[in-house]
Amino acid sequence: MTATVRTENVGIRFLFDRQARVVTPTLAWLRRRGSETWGLHGITFTLRPGDTVALLGPSGSGKTTLLRTIAGVFQPDAGMMDVRGRVASLLSIEAGLLPPLTGRENCLLLGVLAGLSRSDSRARLEHIKAESGLGDAFERPIASYSQGMRARLGYTVAAFTNPDIMLLDEVHEALDHEFRDVVYEHAQRIAAAGGIVVAAGHDHGLLENLCARGLLLDHGHIRADGPFAEVQELYLGESPDEALVQP
């Protein structure tokens, strides 16, 4: 299957309980104007086979919300999103990992949740162990893992589901330099095979190595879409405040 992601005027609405206790000025403002706010609004873009895309923008700009919408965690409240291809997502270091279980046991569980059969999940265990570089720690409960070790395990499991579309949300920033090279090489393989990679984070050096294209989000809107270097320059305020259009 050819991987594509197509969106037209996608909006994601968050509802708030009117009876909820107000603890910040922001929440007080939300209550005065109603019980909803839009995390994404009017999102329109197309991702094609081979695209490697970085989501840029400050915290709260909608990067994680957009990734979760592509992953199917959120369904659009407005507009249309069409995602074609097997999606693997690592949207947080802790995503899907159960601390009391060992690395091996977590791999079996995550594999089944990703749609693999139990036999397929078991068949990939030794490969996952080798690729993750966790060694003997693979047999220990992940409650004893560092953030970097958890990120290694989660990414390796996601990669071994053979995704057409890989989604990463800041997780790669927790990885050590050695394993980042593994992530870069795998992302290049996905793109070369006609897949799509979408990553969000605040370490622009990492994103530049990983992605050729950038999407700049601002308060749930797309402000710019184009080559990574140009979108990054706009975000950092070093170029005129004009939207870039991806051909």
The answer regarding whether domain 4-235 maps to CATH 3.40.50.300 reads yes
Summarised one tens digit per residue, pLDDT across range 224-242 is 999 999 999 999 985 444 4
Mean pLDDT, rounded, for 198-219 = 91
Say which residue, 197 or 149, is predicted with more confidence: 197
Question: pLDDT tens across 100-130, in order?
Answer: 999 999 888 887 777 778 888 888 899 889 9
From 14-28, 62-76, 166-180, the region with the lowest mean pLDDT: 14-28
CA distance 44 to 79: 9
What is the distance between the alpha carbons of residues 187 and 52, in angstroms, rounded to a whole number?
A: 8
| 170 SS3 class | coil
Q: Which of 188, 161, 220, 178 is nearest to 42 (CA)?
A: 220
Question: Locate tokens 């074609």: which residue?
Answer: 84
Residue 200, SS3 per DSSP: strand
pLDDT in tens, 53-100: 999 999 899 999 999 999 998 999 999 999 999 898 877 656 668 889
What pLDDT, on a 0 to 100 scale, did the predictor assign at position 241? 45
